[in-house]
């Protein structure tokens, strides 16, 4: 029989710490409600602008949550899912409003005077 030799494992070098993650907060503090609902009588531009602003803010929050998850700085996964769903729904809202406006515009152009 041949003698079996097992080589011992060498210990891994310790990891060097990286800089702590600082969330992106370019659109204000984002601590309050995302966007105040538009008051009655505002033109479409203001309503659509508020929807786009809400979309930007929810995407920033969702991206920050994802980065924090990747770095291990988040403790509750349900917040990540909720924020991702909010961002998805905000995106769908903007897309649907745009689609309805385009359909309305097309319909108005078909009217014969």
Whether residue 66 lies inside any domain: the answer is: yes
Q: Which residue has the higher pLDDT, 40 or 73?
A: 73
- Whether 107 shows a pLDDT value over 70: the answer reads yes
Whether residue 22 lies inside any domain: the answer is: no
- If we measure between CA atoms, which residue out of 49, 44, 58, 32 comes closest to residue 104? 44
Whether residue 33 lies inside any domain: the answer is: no
DSSP string spanning 29-61? ---S-SSPPPPTT--HHHHHHHHHHHHHHHHHH
Whether residue 15 lies inside any domain: the answer is: no
Q: Which residue has the higher pLDDT, 59 or 45?
A: 59
Average pLDDT over residues 12-40: 63
* Token couple for 101: 């406006």
Which pLDDT score is estimated for 76? 85
Which pLDDT score is estimated for 46? 84
Cβ neighbours for 30, distance < 8 A, ≥ 6 positions apart: 57, 60, 61
Name the domain count of the chain: 1
């Amino acid at each position: 029989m041949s003698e079996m030799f097992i080589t011992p494992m060498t210990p891994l070098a310790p990891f060097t710490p990286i800089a702590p993650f600082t969330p992106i907060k370019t659109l204000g503090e984002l601590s309050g409600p995302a966007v105040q609902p538009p008051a009655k009588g505002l033109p479409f531009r203001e309503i659509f602008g508020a929807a786009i602003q809400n979309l930007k803010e929810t995407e920033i929050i969702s991206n920050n949550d994802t980065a924090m998850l990747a770095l291990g700085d988040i403790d509750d996964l349900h917040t990540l899912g909720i924020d991702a769903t909010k961002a998805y729904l905000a995106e769908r809202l903007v897309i649907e409003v745009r689609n309805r406006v385009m359909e309305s515009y097309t319909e108005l152009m078909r009217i014969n005077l």
